[in-house]
Structure 1
């Protein structure tokens, strides 16, 4: 029986990951701040992962085959985890993001080598504890967190660079709801003058990928994305179908200022070939897009406003 620790994981694809691990027969320990209880069958430890002493105390003498860190956003958090889990785990899987490639702009899919965490400078003195700063530097925080694990490894580590996630009735981001509201009201959707496609992954697929990565033996960064890029128009067409009533998306190109979610002024779609060579098979985004959108925004019966 595998002994797995999940840090965070109390919502969205983290919950699905925990259920997959439990269903596989793993012994699962979930560490979070106690804001919500993890799925039944797991062990719940309450600790703030930013508080090194509290995290170590909560863990006690426990050791794990693998740790899956769902909520590592900064190099400070990575440094704490590196110290606390050194000697406690045989493997560490950090959930990273496509946004580590935020400075890339390539017509070709971007591979993991575009951002080598061993070459990323780490600055622990930056105000990482400030929520506004952290949100504004999301990609940089993830890059530097990866670097902490990569530059002086305390254990074999993996950084799963997750594409934009779609699907599920518990999608808390509000991004698809933004489109649904604009389409229902007939309001134009702001997009860049040159609006690039991007790579995505279905919520169930990324949970499956993280479970697979937890049990594998490879190390280093790996991109997790479905085959096939999607445009804003692709997503809005699926939203319009889910909303029903003959509505259609209207777009307004803007040269500056805020644009809608899932619209991009640069091209940085991810290359998933490393993951495929290692043995994971992704689906195609067009195969699950309609289902993913319907799960999140639902559909309204034409003319009644009734949610189906």
Structure 2
């Protein structure tokens, strides 16, 4: 297949490119060029700022694609532009969305809990919305306006050794350095997925005939209390936890007021088998502890 990936030079996007190459597809990546090209001659690279509508349209002129993956769309304006530019140019778009499309209300989230087909569109740029609202608006535009099939893959927090956001690293480093961690609710459960499994599901979403929104998460959820305990066990050190106040540097990037996790039943019914969170999270924690000690 002829595949275009917007983004793709780091974290799970990089692993998606690797998967596509390994499966014999012809891959083009479209990036701003800030992370270089880690794939060499195995891919073609288009260096474009996707927010420059004219430059994006020019870069994609006279092209057609079997699948387009958009890992870097954060607003309705960006979604509308890609719908218009790719009209008649692709057989499918796979959009990287998020758990943040759902409210944090303590209930396990299913796809129908956010319906982009009925959501009122409010156009605007990325900076005009919160991360979650930007993704909700982008989904609404894609599903209502795209002339091609769309899959929106809703990921929870993605974990991995190469996570450039360093959110799990934050907790490991604070515990190792005896620094405080501030949490609003230590009993709140969350769901996670590895960067490798995220890439595998994106690939699956592209090459199988599914459409619509899909939650993609490892099976199971874990409380922040139990996640902290895994780090304590692996490091032999106790965490300093605070529940009120705390400066900005102590605020946990995983801090949520209530349970916030998803069901993956729809995706599993479509034929994808997810890992069990408990099978890999302790190993990942132990690896990071060893690296950062």
TM-score (norm 2): 0.92
Shift, 1:233, TM fit: 2.3
CA distance in 2, matches of 1:110, 1:145: 19
Give the SS at the match of 2:243. strand
Q: Deviations over 1:220-245 (max 9, x none)?
A: 00000111101112322333344x3x
**CA 1:295/1:13 → structure 2, altered by over 3 Å: closer, same or farther?**
farther
CA distance in 2, matches of 1:296, 1:151: 42
**CA 1:117/1:294 → structure 2, altered by over 3 Å: closer, same or farther?**
same
Are the equivalent residues in 2 in contact too, given 1:167–1:291 (CA < 8 A)?
no
C-alpha RMSD of matched pairs (Å): 1.9
Count the aligned residue pairs: 289
Q: Deviations over 1:228-267 (max 9, x none)?
A: 101112322333344x3x2122322227986412121022
Give the SS at the match of 1:226. coil
Q: Identify which of 142, 146, 157 aligns with 1:153.
A: 146
Partner residue, 1:223: 215
Q: Identify which of 261, 267, 276 aligns with 1:275.
A: 267
Shift, 1:26, TM fit: 0.7
CA distance in 2, matches of 1:117, 1:80: 18
Shift, 1:282, TM fit: 0.4
Q: Identify which of 210, 228, 237 aligns with 1:247.
A: 237
**CA 1:129/1:262 → structure 2, altered by over 3 Å: closer, same or farther?**
closer
Partner residue, 1:24: 23
Q: Identify which of 127, 134, 137 aligns with 1:141.
A: 134
Shift, 1:294, TM fit: 3.9
Give the SS at the match of 1:144. helix
Q: Identify which of 177, 181, 197 aligns with 2:173.
A: 181
Are the equivalent residues in 2 in contact too, given 1:228–1:285 (CA < 8 A)?
yes
Are the equivalent residues in 2 in contact too, given 1:45–1:59 (CA < 8 A)?
no
**CA 1:172/1:298 → structure 2, altered by over 3 Å: closer, same or farther?**
farther
Give the SS at the match of 2:132. helix
Shift, 1:298, TM fit: 3.5
Give the SS at the match of 1:155. coil
CA distance in 2, matches of 1:203, 1:223: 15
CA distance in 1, matches of 2:86, 2:222: 38
Shift, 1:289, TM fit: 0.4
Are the equivalent residues in 1 in contact too, given 2:74–2:126 (CA < 8 A)?
no
**CA 1:193/1:176 → structure 2, altered by over 3 Å: closer, same or farther?**
closer
Q: Deviations over 1:128-172 (max 9, x none)?
A: 253xx45xx00000000000011133100000001111112x211
CA distance in 2, matches of 1:9, 1:296: 23
Give the SS at the match of 2:148. coil
CA distance in 1, matches of 2:99, 2:105: 13
Are the equivalent residues in 2 in contact too, given 1:93–1:158 (CA < 8 A)?
yes
Q: Extract unaligned runs of 5+ from structure 2.
A: none
TM-score (norm 1): 0.88
